[in-house]
Structure 1
Amino acid sequence: MPDADPQLLPLAGKEVMWLQSFDDVYSDEKPGGTPLHEYIVLLGKLARILEEPRANLLPDNPWASALRDLRLDVEAHSSSAQLDRWVRAHIDYFDGLLWEAVNRAEGRSPSIDDYVTMWLKQSGVYPCIAFTDLACGYEVPANGWHDPRVRMLREMTAAIIGWDNDLTSYNKEAMRAEQYGFPTIQNLIAVIAEERGCPATEAATLVSAMRNHAMARFIAMRERVVADSDPATSRYVHGLAQWIRGYLDYSALSPRYLQPSDAFEHVLAHGWPISDIRPTGSHGCLPAPASLAGWW
């Protein structure tokens, strides 16, 4: 968000830090994590704190306290519509976390369709992109926010960043699964390799093609929206593109993803082509996720 208000940008930074630290402690793939029955209660109480921050729930939990503080900060700097969108984004995120937690508890690799549907929410992209207008001092009007094309652009943003994250983090996840006995990998590369019975390198090539296909769809849809939308909505869809680019810049250098793994035989080459967003080859072999039928 290069044009964010310097006074509001820290809100988005706090959001990212909360999501990543919560993920590491409560929803990462390590064994011995929060039992499923406790996790359901925890997420339900966090959702209620978002709805009503004065609710005296989880008083000794630092993530609950931090989320409550962030909720109050967002409320102080946003419109009622922006606050509602932000709260809803977190509840969607919690839904995705529960789905993933069930998969992990059962040691199950989901189908490609189920994983794509789950990852739209579980990736945590929606709470972050809620700051696209909020932190930049403007508001997407209701007719722009609810435009089906704008909704699809949000979905594309979540899909692209989520799949970029899978490409970036697969090495770390695969190494930890093999060396430390972590549960079944919840990653699109692993899901495709399992469902299609192919090597991880082949699955990664397919995921790269999927993200490039989605990127081409995003650019085409963005141009149509900009051509006939109000200035705030046009600015918003350009802001979504900045999140996509920003994630690439961040993840390429972050120690969070650059796990040392020279001796790991299944490691993938770090990085993938991002400069050429044109669909490559025939897309007849690409998965056609049912939940993305509106724009895929």
Structure 2
Amino acid sequence: MPASTLRDLIDSHLHMPFPFARNPHEREAAAGVDAWLKVWGLTDAPDVAVMIARTRPAELASYNSPTMDAGLLQIMANQIAYQFVFDDRAEDVGRRSPGRLLPMLGESVAILRDGRPPSTRLGAALADLHRQVRERCTPAQAARWAWKSREYVHGLLYEAVAQAQPYLLRTGDCTSIRSLTAGIEPFYPLSEAAQPNELSPAELHHPVVQRLGRLSADAAVWIPDLFSAVKEQRAGGMINLALAHQREHHCTLQAAVMLAIQQINGAIEEFQQLYAQVKPELSPAGIGYVEGMIGWIRGCYHWSRTVPRYADVASVPAVSQGT
């Protein structure tokens, strides 16, 4: 059957070799997320509560980490929910002026780097999330989590600056910013914590394992960009892989999505080839760590195609009306 909607077009052309799976503790994690957000007052605002209902953070955690124990899954689900709230708040503030973001981002960095006490609800939630990570992870894993989380915070400032500029970003600039704002690499230490022991420095810093981490983070965030392109285009968003291709190639959204799919398929195929190459060298913990990266690629696909936040993708035809 020919594709009738843009979502069908994505489904029929995206290379997804990793089968669907979900965590048996998903429902428990969803209830935990709602309770945690309520404790810190993050869903007191009706628009935030609606956003969480439309993004289903526990579902994303479940799809990404189907074998993770209930405790770690809850931390992951809480973190996903927090990042959705933080990201939307940063986007709203940054659109008016990137400089307005500085207090918000500065508070986050101070909490993550220096252990400074929070002064806002968002900061209090982040401090509690950091506590959860420190209690469950080893000191080295928690330090890696904080470091990668600071990279994510810094990336939001890059995004705000890019959104405020009059010139159109090229695809390479967009993917560079997207790699930071994706916020996926902070979850890798949680995947490591799910293993029976820490990875050795040789495994963590192995060039191929490092490359796998980059490919996983890119593919995992570019996939939602396919499904969110309609939403982002209507909202005037700039940092989206498909929209970047559309600007650069002056083509229809459907053609731009196909170009983005080619880029994603290339990343996934390279990931498969490199993993097959390095797998015999890895310990069981190292293999589990990389399997966690695979989970993000697979999970982001299955979550993106059905989550209400990106439902607009099913309202656009697979073929441009002008062709």
Measured against the shorter chain, the TM-score band is 0.7 to 0.9
Task: Kindly state the Cα deviation for residue 56 of structure 1 after the two structures are TM-superposed.
Answer: 2.7
1:109·1:186 contact (CA, 8 Å) conserved in 2? no
Q: Structure 1 runs of 4+ off > 4 angstroms? A: 30-34
2:25 corresponds to which residue? Answer: none
Q: List aligned pairs for 1:43-122, cutoff 5 A.
A: 43-53=105-115, 55-57=116-118, 59=119, 61-122=120-181
2:268 corresponds to which residue? Answer: 215
Q: List aligned pairs for 1:1-296, cutoff 5 A.
A: 1-27=65-91, 33=95, 35-53=97-115, 55-57=116-118, 59=119, 61-136=120-195, 138-177=197-236, 184-259=237-312, 262=315, 267=316, 269=318
Task: Kindly state the Cα deviation for residue 141 of structure 1 after the two structures are TM-superposed.
Answer: 2.1
Deviations 1:233-274 (A, max 9, x none): 112112211121111121111112113874xxxx3649xxxx
Q: Distance in 2 between matches of 1:77 and 1:253?
A: 31
Task: Kindly state the Cα deviation for residue 217 of structure 1 after the two structures are TM-superposed.
Answer: 0.2
Q: Distance in 1 between matches of 2:212 and 2:192?
A: 15
2:228·2:313 contact (CA, 8 Å) conserved in 1? no
SS in 2 for 1:24: helix
Deviations 1:17-45 (A, max 9, x none): 00111112222xx5885631121232122
What value does the CA root-mean-square deviation take over the aligned residues?
Answer: 2.1
Q: Distance in 1 between matches of 2:274 and 2:70?
A: 30
Task: Kindly state the Cα deviation for residue 89 of structure 1 after the two structures are TM-superposed.
Answer: 0.9
Question: What number of residue pairs does the alignment pair up?
Answer: 255
Query: Could you list the runs of 5+ residues in structure 2 that have no partner in the other structure?
Result: 1-64
Deviations 1:144-200 (A, max 9, x none): 1111111111100111011101101001112233xxxxxx53211121121222222
2:90·2:156 contact (CA, 8 Å) conserved in 1? no
Measured at CA, do residues 144 and 261 of structure 1 come closer, stay the same or move farther in structure 2, by a change above 3 Å? closer
Q: Distance in 1 between matches of 2:96 and 2:78?
A: 23
Larger relative contact order, structure 1 or 2 (CA cutoff 8 Å, min sep 6)? 2
2:39 corresponds to which residue? Answer: none
Measured at CA, do residues 23 and 137 of structure 1 come closer, stay the same or move farther in structure 2, by a change above 3 Å? farther
With normalisation by structure 2, the TM-score equals 0.74
SS in 2 for 1:2: coil
Q: Distance in 1 between matches of 2:259 and 2:150?
A: 30
1:277 corresponds to which residue? Answer: none
With normalisation by structure 1, the TM-score equals 0.80
